[in-house]
């Protein structure tokens, strides 16, 4: 009877392991320090590389695993789970979400099925209740098929974080820093105090031009001033390579956002038309950065419209 039950368990496990379409991109967990790891995505647009364009991370404790962000498809998250299982058989206890954007959340169902609690920032429901969330998922079911498909769904949070929050798991101490509406409807970071590793989410893009969208760019710039003062050993941005040089990792996003604010604030105050302003700005400091051609004009226009509202 025991042998039969074991065989049945193995069969169920096998079925679960093949539930998601395999990816051809390399999903590999890299150890940063101690028990802190990250899974580095590639540098590209949202639907390139089978959706593998953002980072995720995890910290292994004696009482379970804390995951940070869930990647852009269930298939990618399933590959990440396989990487975690190479290191530990501890249960996935908590997934801390930096924010609810598609390239970070579509893998959540994999960890939810593992029994994890999903912790997300205040503002998450603003996204989940919007038409954008469902429309974008429908679009990704087409553009990222078969890795995003009809079985992919938006996972609701179990806990909303609306202030800085300390917690512990096993021997590890953690700090969630809540930023409010910055890059998205709600943003936060996770610091593994024990391993001195900070997972920032998309308030930092390393090695490429950030995506601005409908961000509160003034608050975003102020948030970067706050984050730059945090002393950590390792820093994991939402996009780009992790490093033990936090200020250098933050540098491009910091310079770029402040450049947009400086140049476009003057233009809005002087009521100059956007097209003329854009052509007159010297973009040479950033034009060789990845994603410049795809993102810069959209970013500049978004900031221009934002400043028209707040400076009116």
Q: What is the pLDDT of residue 115?
A: 97
Superfamily grouping for domain 15-247: Ribonuclease Z/Hydroxyacylglutathione hydrolase-like (3.60.15.10)
pTM value is 0.91
CB atoms within 10 A of CB 168: 12
Model confidence pLDDT, tens digit, residues 22-58: 999 999 999 999 999 999 999 888 899 999 999 999 9
C-alpha angle 137-143-147 in degrees, rounded to nearest 5: 75
Q: What is the pLDDT of residue 8?
A: 47
Q: Residue holding tokens 């810069």?
A: 296
Closest CA to 272 of 230, 307, 226, 232: 307
Phi-psi domain of 180 (left: phi exceeds 0; alpha: psi -120 through 50; beta: other) = left
End-to-end CA distance of the chain: 75
Averaged over 286-292, what is the pLDDT?
93
Q: What is the pLDDT of residue 10?
A: 45
């Amino acid at each position: 009877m025991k042998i039969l039950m074991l065989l049945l368990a193995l069969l169920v496990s096998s079925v679960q392991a093949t539930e998601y379409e395999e990816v051809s991109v390399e999903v590999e967990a890299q150890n940063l320090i101690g028990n802190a790891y990250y899974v580095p995505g590639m540098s590209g647009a949202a639907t390139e590389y089978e959706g593998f364009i953002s980072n995720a991370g995890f910290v292994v404790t004696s009482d379970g695993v804390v995951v940070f962000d869930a990647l852009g498809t269930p298939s990618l998250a399933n590959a990440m789970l396989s990487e975690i299982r190479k290191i530990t058989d501890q249960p996935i206890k908590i997934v801390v979400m930096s924010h609810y954007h598609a390239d970070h959340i579509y893998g959540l169902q994999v960890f939810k099925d593992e029994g994890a609690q999903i912790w997300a920032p205040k503002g998450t429901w603003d996204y989940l209740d919007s038409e954008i969330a469902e429309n974008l998922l429908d679009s990704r079911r087409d553009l990222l098929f078969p890795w995003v498909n009809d079985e992919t769904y938006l996972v609701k949070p179990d806990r909303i974080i609306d202030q800085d929050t300390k917690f512990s798991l096993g021997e590890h101490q953690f700090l969630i820093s809540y930023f409010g509406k910055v890059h998205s409807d709600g943003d936060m970071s996770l610091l593994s105090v024990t391993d001195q590793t900070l997972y920032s989410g998309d308030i930092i893009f390393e090695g490429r031009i950030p995506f601005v969208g409908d961000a509160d760019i003034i608050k975003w710039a102020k948030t970067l001033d706050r984050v730059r003062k945090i002393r950590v050993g390792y820093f994991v941005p939402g996009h780009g390579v992790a490093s033990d040089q936090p200020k250098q990792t933050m540098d491009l996003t910091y310079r770029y956002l402040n450049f947009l604010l400086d140049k476009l604030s003057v233009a809005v105050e002087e009521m100059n038309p956007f097209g003329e302003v854009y052509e007159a700005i010297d973009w040479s400091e950033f034009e060789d950065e990845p994603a410049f051609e795809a993102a810069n004009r959209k970013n500049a226009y978004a900031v221009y419209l934002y400043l028209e509202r707040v400076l009116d």
